[in-house]
Structure 1
Amino acid sequence: MNTRQWSRDLGMGVRFACTGGREGWVRMLLTAVGVGLGVALLLLTTAIPNALAVRDQRNEDRNDYTYGPHVPKAANTLVISDADTTYRGTDVRGRLVEPEGPRAPIAPGLTKYPAPGDMVVSPALKTLLGSADGKLLRERLPYRIVGTIGEPGLIGSHELAYYAGAKDLAPRINGWQTARITHFGPSRSPQQEGLDPVLILLVLVVFVVLLMPVAVFIATAVRFGGERRDRRLAALRLVGSDSRMTRRIAAGEALAGSLVGLVFGTGFFLLGRQLAASVDIMGISVFPSYLNPSPALAALVAVAVPAAAVLVTLFALRGVVIEPLGVVRTAKPARRRLWWRLLLPLGGLACLAPMIGQGRSNGTFNEYLVIGGVLLLLVGVTALLPWVVEAVVARLGLGGVAWQLAVRRLQLSSGSAARMVNGIAVAVAGAIALQMLFAGVQGDYTKSTARDTDRIQMQVNLPRGLPFVPAAGKFASTKGVRKATALASTELGDRRWTPDHGPENTLSLTVGTCASLRDVARLTSCHDGDVFTAKGGERDVDVDKLTRPGLRLHLNTSDGTGAGPDVVWTVPHGMKQARAITGPGGTKDSQVLMTPAALSGRMSSALTGAVYLKLDESVPDVHDRVRNTAARIDPLADAMVWSATEESNKFTSIRTGTFVGAVCVLALIGASLLVSQLEQLRERRKLLSSLVAFGTRRRTLSMSVLWQTAIPIALGLLLASAVGLTLGGVLLKMVGATVSVDWPSVLSMAGAGAAVVVTVTLLSLPPLLRLMRPEGLRTE
């Protein structure tokens, strides 16, 4: 068969689809909407790499960690302080700025710096501060808003950020929070190391799991209206076309729907692109300009979708005999064959088997085998589900009228029922496998912080030299704070501290009130002015060597940018003895303990204070109340919430991205299922009208439709759970993790899939009731 014949037959199918009257237009519209939803998500997927690249680039462009150890004041310098905070679980990026000359570098998104007491904010922060929800945050940022940060200075449309003008920042330069810079841009720190093999495996599996349901839905959408199409094809046979020509014409109709679907998908994508600025998922937001698909990947989608429509249609008609007087589905009398359907998941297991036990110690996983193996296992779900549905519904027994109507319908068209839930089954199977893999390797990317979160819930680090005892009183009077323990610390050495060489022998110094010192050591008696040597710490420190009376010890005043002033303390006679215990910071140290009255000379200026807080976490917004108090004490006070564990940022990013992608896929599943359900109801409207005309109750028909959905989805979720558990177990074996099943997560994944189907079914009930009217029997 030459190309001209193929083109002519496909073109005829396209013309039939476009000139088939209202019936043909409705059919093509449904196909186009279904395909368009899939195309939109595919275009979104192709745009994600560019969006992430733009976010990273903008974050690099505004990076202010560009300072060196010694940057002198000049006309082109800027002193900038990191004043980041958190509000109700959302990060707020804050910077205090003080330009030191007319050529100070301007941060991206700004045209000039605000004056002291003023600030420029991101649009999202301006909205929040102007609302009732931002009342507590407004107390923390006592600056006058004089402008907004432009898009080049933000990484997302919902990012909360501000630049506030300040003065006298130069004396506070410390090399980690406040610095003098001459430009913004990439830092001079070494490049971060790449992902390890297990994280690469996670990315590959996430990629396949999220895109596979999209492909399934597109394949399902191009088969809308199959029964009516086959009757039209029989009429074509009657006027002289042969069977091959008829199939090519059918493929042309599907091609027309897919081409219109490309247009719809582009429109859906552009609409979603404009709406992207209003969406914030797990703290991730983007600007519409970020979502620009790669031209090569967009071209691939434009070619692959119509080609897939043609191939799927030809494949679907392989078991249909189209004769001039009707259509005989040869697949119906003969039972579906199981053997070739089992080959797909077995082939997937064969691809993954060579990598079992490889872990992260034997190099990277073969990405082609990983993608191929996962793909074959998930495709196996779509191949096995029609056989499972047919085998089960053929054995279902008697029941009520609604049950019998549903079962008989499923027995007549089990393939259509299976196609409807194929996508949800694939999504659930992939989600279960991913959940098992994430749970299995989470321990490798989570480490204990050794913090006692029952004892302390928050810690506030104060700038060096700030009076810490009065600060403790302010925190103690904050609503929701049960206890505030203030301690200041530094290090003592037997010689002066310099940036290049520290003393050979060092000892920690902790200063606090008697009540506070009792949290780090057992004291027999204590009065303000006492000095103690605490022994029995976890580290082997020779306390006696450095606490000989009369010995001159140097305090560590180095701030990371150069040597600080030389502050000397002479060890007094008559120091009291104490026994070290585990302090609020989670460590047990041998050290020198001192009460405030014992401080002499400039020692206070060398101390860095920290306040440890025990909270009543039942008080609303207690964390933000503490942060407000910290900001009133000093804008650069750093408040942090304690947690027992902390996760790798890379692992957390992948999991967050997976969640965002899963939300998009679930939205596609719901929309596509609704379109599919409406298409099936439209196909059966005359049958429904006939049953109503003969006296069948509407409630009975509604229940039959619910049963027609419930039975395939129950079978699909069972099959998806089996395949998902198998795939998850193999992936865990591949990374060398213990195979275990988190049953609550498995049930939640299956429940989410079922909830989507139930929601779609309920949304389809109003159209169903409109179709169940005797007037539906009219024909023209």
Structure 2
Amino acid sequence: MSLRQSSRDLGLGVRFAFAGGREGWMRAVLTALGVGLGVALLLLSTALPNAISVRHDREQARLDWSFTEEPPTAADNTVVIANTDTTFRGKDVRGRLVEPEGPRAPLPPGLSAYPAKGEMLVSPALKRLLASDGAKLLRERIPYRITGTIGESGLIGSQELAYYAGGEGLFAHEAGSNVSRLTAFGNPNPTPEAPDPVLALLNIVVIVMLLMPVAVFVAAAVRFGGERRDRRLAALRLVGADGRMTRRIAAGEAMAGALLGLVLGAGFFLVGRQVAGSVEVMGISVWPSYLNPSPLLAALVAVAVPAAAVLVTLFALRSVVIEPLGVVRSAKPTRRRLWWRLVLPVAGLAMLYPMLGQGRSNGSFNEYLVTGGVMLLLIGITALLPWLVERCVARLGSGGVAWQLAVRRLQLSSGTAARMVNGIAVAVAGAIALQMLFAGVDGQYTKSTAQDLSRAQMQVTVPADAPMAATVEKFTDTKGVRKVTAVWESYLGDASWNSENGPQLAAELTVGDCAALREVAKLPSCKDGDRFVLDGSEYSVDGPKMNVPGKMLYIESPTSGPASAPEKEATWTVPAGITQVRSIEDPTGSRRGGFLMTPAALPKDFEGMVRGELYLSIDQSVPDAFEYARNTAAAVNPLADPTAWTASTTSDKFESLRTGLLVGAICVLLLIGASLLVAQLEQLRERRKLLSSLVAFGTRRRTLGLSVLWQTAIPITLGLLLAMAVGLTLGAILLKMTDTPVGIDWSSVLSMTGAGAAVVLVVTLLSLPPLMRLMRPDGLRTE
């Protein structure tokens, strides 16, 4: 057989697909739809690495804090920038106050000029939000006039909420961690972090488990309409084609559908790329320009999909005898063998076995072994499921008419039924394994904050220039705030903070009324004007040493650096008779040291030099109670930093990976659902005459509808059981690899299984209306 002859046969198959009448092109279109949906998601997957990289680069390019210990002095090329980030109804808003100090001040990415005082530049998404009816509280918090928008280069996503507003006198607050003076934006010396082996493993497994269901369904899509195609091939045998030629022609037909699927997939991807710029999923959005597939990976998809179509078709026809008078497929098929189907999962286990117990302390996991092992285990599902369905349906007993119709159909074409649920089974198995892995290592990336949510639910850091009594009164009068515990903080030293060596001894200074001080220390008695020193435990060894009557102590200035040093520093002489008290855990879960003072005991020179830490107890039954508190903080001082408390915090990288998994899983399930619907409609179309004949002989439409439900329910049940077994096994192995105790989160396992079953159920229900139309008598008409 020459290459030329093979090419001619493949070309003949392509012609049959598009010029072989209504049946030919309908099969090609259905195949192209299934393949196109898969190709679109594959192209999206090849674009994700670039999207992640661009988001990271843009985030790095707009970094706006000083990376040096000593900030630069004011010049015509400096800008002062203050972080005024906030949250509005669960959505983060990136805010910055900017004050250029000269004509050559650097511009952040996305800005062509700085806003004037009282004006701001906003992201398109924030502009839309502020213009909406429900954003009244946010407009009060950000009361600047909008004069323009931030360009795409200054935003990490199309739906990011961000603004730059003009400020004045910002560097007076430089000692606060949210104000910096810059000569350039970005990190001048980016140093890559040491890779975390467990996060790298999660990343590999997430990618493999998101792509495998897509690949499985693309392989199944090229086999749409197989029975009608084989009957047409029998006619070719009748006019003189041999068996090999007919198989090559069949491969050509499949390749035609796959090529058309590539075109449709590219179109779906381009449409989805534009749609992606207008949506936000799990708090993540992108610009369409981010989604540029890697040329090499896109070329690999373009070559692999048609090649897979040819190979899958030839493999599927290996046991089909196409003769001039028909296709020997309706006879009882040869029983499927089990031994070679077990080779795939066993080989996968063998590849993963050397890494058991490796954990994060023994270097990175071998990415090739991980990828290969996980792929073989998941591919093993597609090999085992047809055998499992065949064995189970062969033993099913008698029942009602609908049951018998469904069982007999499954007994005659168990492979077709298994192919339809292969993608769901692979997706569910991967999801179960990943949920086990995420749940197992969650404790390594989630840390308790130690914040006592029974004592407060929000903390507000207020700059030193905010008046103490007025600030507390404003928060006390805020809607939804039940209680305010206010303490004011600074540091005392035994020498000038601006001297060459600085103080040798230093201790905290905490100021508050008696009720507030009782939140940080065990007080025997207290009245306004009292002073205390904490007992000098491990939390404050210097406090008692500095409690020497007549000793002069210096308070740390709220500004820093020689250029901002006051002409005369504020000092305090330690009086005699200061009571020593025991420190207790404050609402943040930490213990303080140093000196405690009530407001009347605070030296006049110290006023305006202590910053506030306010702990708010919020009445969460009041709608938008946190928003009212944030608005009060912005009214007190634009640089006030309100933070809602949580019981725990999670690593950003771990959380973003988990969010990426959820977004990817949603996309994969939607794809599989749409593709399953196409496959179901194709199956019903092939059986149109049979269904019409049954109705003509008196079979009730309700009975046929139930038979279709049973034909879907039986294989999906078996598929989900197999998926649970493989998913639990793979999850246990991955946990062993990370040296994490094996545990099963049954709620997650059942939810993943239920999600897969729900997709199939929805697809089946959507296919019932077309089924009813196919049962009409005109389905018996032929040409």
Q: Which moved more, 1:65-74 or 1:699-708?
A: 65-74
Change (3 A) 1:300 1:487: same
* 8 Å Cα contact 1:499/1:558 also seen in 2: no
Superimposed CA distance per residue, residues 746-774 of structure 1 (whole angstroms, 9 cap, x where no aligned partner): 00000110111111111111111111101
Distance apart, 1:578 and its partner CA: 3.0
Q: Confirm or deny that 1:92 pairs with 2:88.
A: no
1:428/1:285 Cα in 2 relative to 1: closer, same or farther (>3 Å)?
same
Question: How is 1:706-717 mapped onto 2 (pairs within 5 angstroms)?
Answer: 706-717=709-720
Query: Match for residue 181 of structure 2?
Result: 180
Deviation at 1:329, TM superposition (A): 3.2
Q: Paired residue for 1:679?
A: 682
Task: Check conservation: 2:173, 2:559, Cα contact below 8 A.
Answer: no
Whole-Å separation in 2 of the counterparts to 1:749 and 1:112: 50
Q: Which residue of 2 aligns with 1:74?
A: 75
> Could you tell me how far apart the structure 2 residues matched to 1:561 and 1:201 are?
45
**Deviation digits for residues 419-453 of structure 1 (CA, Å, limit 9, x no counterpart):** 00000000000000000011111111122222212
CA distances 1:36-72 after superposition (whole Å, capped 9, x unpaired) = 0011011111111111122122222222224642322
Letter in 1 for 2:511: V
| 2:473 pairs with 1:470 | no
Distance 2:330 2:436 in 1: 41
Contact 1:535 1:589 (8 Å CA) reproduced:
no
Alpha-carbon distance in structure 2 between the residues aligned to 1:609 and 1:540: 20
Indicate the residue corresponding to 1:748 in structure 2.
751
- Aligned-residue Cα RMSD (Å) equals 1.7
2:734 counterpart residue number: 731
Other-structure match for 1:414: 414
Partner of 2:599: 596
1:775 correspondence with 2:741: no
For 1:407, the aligned partner's letter is V
Q: CA deviation at 1:257?
A: 0.3
**Aligned pair in 2 of structure 1 residues 171, 542: CA closer, same or farther (>3 Å)?**
closer
The percentage of aligned residue pairs carrying the same residue is 68
Query: 1 CA distance for matches of 2:649 and 2:332?
Result: 57
Residues 319 and 330, structure 1, Cα contact 8 Å, conserved in 2: no
| Equivalent in the alignment of 2:651 | 648
Q: Secondary structure at the match of 1:420?
A: helix
SS at match of 2:646: coil
| Residue 27 (structure 2) aligns with | 27
1:105 and 2:106 equivalent?
yes
Amino acid of the structure 2 residue aligned with 1:98: E
Change (3 A) 1:685 1:153: same
Cα separation, 2, equivalents of 1:329 and 1:373? 35
Q: Is the Cα contact below 8 Å between 1:320 and 1:330 reproduced in 2? A: no
Deviation of the 1:536 alpha carbon:
6.6
CA distance in 2, matches of 1:336, 1:206: 32
Q: CA deviation at 1:554?
A: 1.6
Asked whether the 8 Å contact 2:498–2:561 carries over to 1, the reply is no
1:635 deviates by 0.8
Could you tell me how far apart the structure 2 residues matched to 1:375 and 1:460 are?
Answer: 50
For the residues of structure 2 that align with 1:582 and 1:70, how far apart are their CA atoms? 34
Question: Are the aligned partners of 1:320 and 1:331 in contact in 2 as well (CA < 8 Å)?
Answer: no
1:660-675 mapped onto 2 (5 Å cutoff)? 660-675=663-678
Is the CA contact 2:466–2:636 (under 8 Å) kept in the aligned structure 1?
Answer: no
Question: Is the aligned partner of 1:627 residue 2:630?
Answer: yes
Query: Equivalences for 1:256-295 in 2 at 5 Å?
Result: 256-295=256-295
The superposition leaves residues 225-266 of structure 1 with CA deviations (integer Å, 9 ceiling, x where unpaired) of 000011011111111111111111100000000000000000
Judge conservation of contact 1:549–1:572 (CA < 8 Å) in 2: yes
Q: Distance in 2 between matches of 1:194 and 1:175?
A: 30
Q: Distance in 1 between matches of 2:39 and 2:308?
A: 12
1:133 CA drift (Å): 2.5
TM (norm. structure 1) is 0.97
Contact 1:235–1:324, Cα closer than 8 Å, also in 2: yes
**Further displaced range: 230-239 or 50-59:** 50-59
Q: Distance in 2 between matches of 1:512 and 1:189?
A: 42
Number of corresponding residues: 779
Q: Secondary structure at the match of 1:280?
A: coil
Residues 1:528 and 2:531 aligned together: no
Where does residue 722 of structure 1 map in the other structure?
Answer: 725
The gaps in structure 1 that reach 5 residues or longer are none
Does structure 1 retain, via aligned residues, the 8 Å contact 2:540–2:594?
A: no
SS at match of 1:606: coil
| Alignment-mate amino acid for residue 743 of structure 1 | W
What is aligned with 1:299?
299
**1:573 Cα offset (Å):** 2.3
For residue 502 of structure 1, report the CA deviation from its aligned partner: 4.3
- Segments of structure 2 that go 5 or more residues without pairing to the other structure are none
Residues 559 and 340 of structure 1: CA distance in aligned 2, closer, same or farther (over 3 Å): farther
Q: CA deviation at 1:561?
A: 4.5
CA contact (8 A) 1:468 1:487 kept: no
State the shift of 1:331 in Å: 9.1
**Partner of 1:610 in structure 2?**
613
Structure 1 residue identity aligned to 2:668: V
CA contact (8 A) 1:66 1:183 kept: no
Q: 1:560 to 1:327 in 2, by over 3 A?
A: farther
Secondary structure in structure 2 of the residue aligned to 1:489: strand
In structure 2, C-alpha distance between the alignment counterparts of 1:418 and 1:443, rounded to whole Å: 38
User: 1-side partners of 2:250 and 2:769: how far apart?
Assistant: 32
Give the direction of change, closer, same or farther, for the CA distance of 1:498–1:736 in structure 2 (3 Å limit): farther
Specify which of 663, 688, 692 is matched with residue 695 of structure 2.
692
Alignment-derived partner of residue 353 in structure 2: 353
C-alpha distance in 1, partners of 2:49/2:458?
37
Distance in 2 (alpha carbons) for counterparts of 1:402 and 1:166: 75
Deviations 1:485-521 (A, max 9, x none): 0001112222222497443322221001122112112
**Aligned twin of 1:18:** 18
| SS, match of residue 277 in structure 2 | helix
Query: Match for residue 403 of structure 1?
Result: 403
Closer, same or farther: CA 461–376 of 1 in aligned 2, 3 Å:
same
Distance 1:473 1:484 in 2: 9
Instruction: Return closer, same or farther for 1:319/1:499 CA change in 2, 3 Å cut-off.
Output: farther
Q: Distance in 2 between matches of 1:610 and 1:321?
A: 82
SS in 1 for 2:93: strand
AA at the equivalent of 2:95? G
| Counterpart contact for 1:449–1:646, Cα < 8 Å | yes
Alpha-carbon distance between aligned partners in 2 of 1:119 and 1:581, rounded to the nearest angstrom: 44
Q: Deviations over 1:615-647 (max 9, x none)?
A: 122222222221111111111111111122211
Partners in 2 of 1:410 and 1:714 — Cα distance?
Answer: 13
User: Matched residues in 2 for 1:252 and 1:686: separation?
Assistant: 27
Q: Decide whether the 8 Å contact of 1:462 with 1:468 is kept in 2.
A: no
Q: Conserved in 2, the CA contact under 8 Å of 1:498 and 1:558? A: no
| Separation of aligned partners in 2, 1:561 and 1:152 | 34
Amino acid at match of 2:259: L
Please give the per-residue CA displacement for 1:157-215, whole angstroms capped at 9, x wherever unaligned: 1000011112222322237311222222x214652413211111111111110000010
Q: Distance in 2 between matches of 1:40 and 1:78?
A: 45
**Residue pair 2:176, 2:463 contacting (<8 A) in 1 also:** no
- State the one-letter code of the partner of 1:162: Y
